[in-house]
Amino acid sequence: MSVIMLFIDGVGLGDEIPDNPWFTVPTPHLDRILDGHSLTKSAVGRPTESTLLIETDATLGVAGLPQSATGQATIFTGRNAPAAMGRHLSGLPFRRLREWVKRDNVYLQFERRGKKATFLNSYSEEYFNLPTTRRGWVSVSTAAIQSAREPLRMMEDLLSGRAVYHDLTRRTLVGRHPGISEIAPEEAAHHLLETAWDYDLAVHEFFLSDLAGHRQDTELISWVVTTYDRFLGELIRQRRKDDVVVLVSDHGNSEDFRVKTHTMNPVPTMIIGPPGRLDAIDTEGWDLTAIAPLLIQMAGG
């Protein structure tokens, strides 16, 4: 069996209101997974025997709006990053937080247990030639995988179906790389699964949801919700019966189009897997520090 963590940036559990695209845009696959509910607060609980949706605290006991750098650092380490840094930190992590992530993260935790973990997103050579990247300004997810033995996935991995692009369908690559064609989100799901099955843990990051929320871009968020719903639906349909899929977010944003900022809403931890494995999850006091231990627990400790 494999554990698959889907990290989707900037998605909180909002209300069933006209300003929540995760409620207003049709999501037939999520609705099926959540027994007729959209990805909102009303779906929290055990909607089906094989699905558990947990309301997850992203504030972590620190004042202020939850932010990306410390939220993601908490997800990828299992440690309270805003408490360690003294505040919520946005954007890319500065050096102290990057080094904090690199010292101990879920990839290293799996390695110490003799298990294989990988990051499925692909990188391009142009990304590593950016002045900011050359100065060390990389995302939490990149800093984490750079600390591990597992190599980063590049464009050749993407084109051979051994990686998934951050936007799933490669639509943002087409303009810069004329030889690359857009694919359906269902095909991205197949590539993810076929690669993930070689590992105990496989992680994918999607961040256009956060971008759409900050821009209040209704066209982009409609594409995001529809595309991610199709991707997730196919992933769940094709997963092996013992596989566990864990969908998580770092902070709220795209679930409330009344504001451009992040929100104080809880975020989802949605777990799809064998009913017996879900029965063993203790949701008391659940926050972002619970994600890394959950992945280890689902992978058999």
> Average pLDDT of the chain?
97
- Edge-to-edge, what's the strand order for the sheet holding 244-248? 45-48, 51-56, 267-272, 244-248, 3-8, 201-206, 117-119
CB 141 within 8 A of CB 203: yes
pLDDT score at 179: 85
pLDDT at position 176 is 86
| CB crowding 219-242: b at 16 or more within 10 Å, else e | ebbebbbbbbbbbbbbbbeebeee
**Which residue, among 70, 76, 105, has the nearest Cα to 205 in the 3D structure?**
76
Report d(CA 96, CA 77) in Å as an integer: 14
- What percent of the chain clears pLDDT 70, i.e. is strictly above it? 100
What stretches in the chain show pLDDT beneath 50? none
What is the rounded CA–CA span in Å between residue 180 and residue 244? 31
Is the overall model pTM greater than 0.85, yes or no? yes
Q: Is the dihedral of CA 122, 126, 128, 131 positive or negative?
A: negative
Indicate the domain borders of the chain.
Answer: 3-298
Q: What's the confidence (pLDDT) of residue 127? A: 92
- Are residues 292 and 73 in contact, defined by beta-carbon separation less than 8 angstroms? no
Read off the pLDDT of residues 52-81 as tens digits, 9 standing for 90 and up: 999 999 999 999 999 999 999 999 999 999
Residue 32 structure tokens: 């099926």
Q: What CATH superfamily classification does 3-298 receive?
A: Alkaline Phosphatase, subunit A (3.40.720.10)
Q: For residue 68, what pLDDT is reported?
A: 98
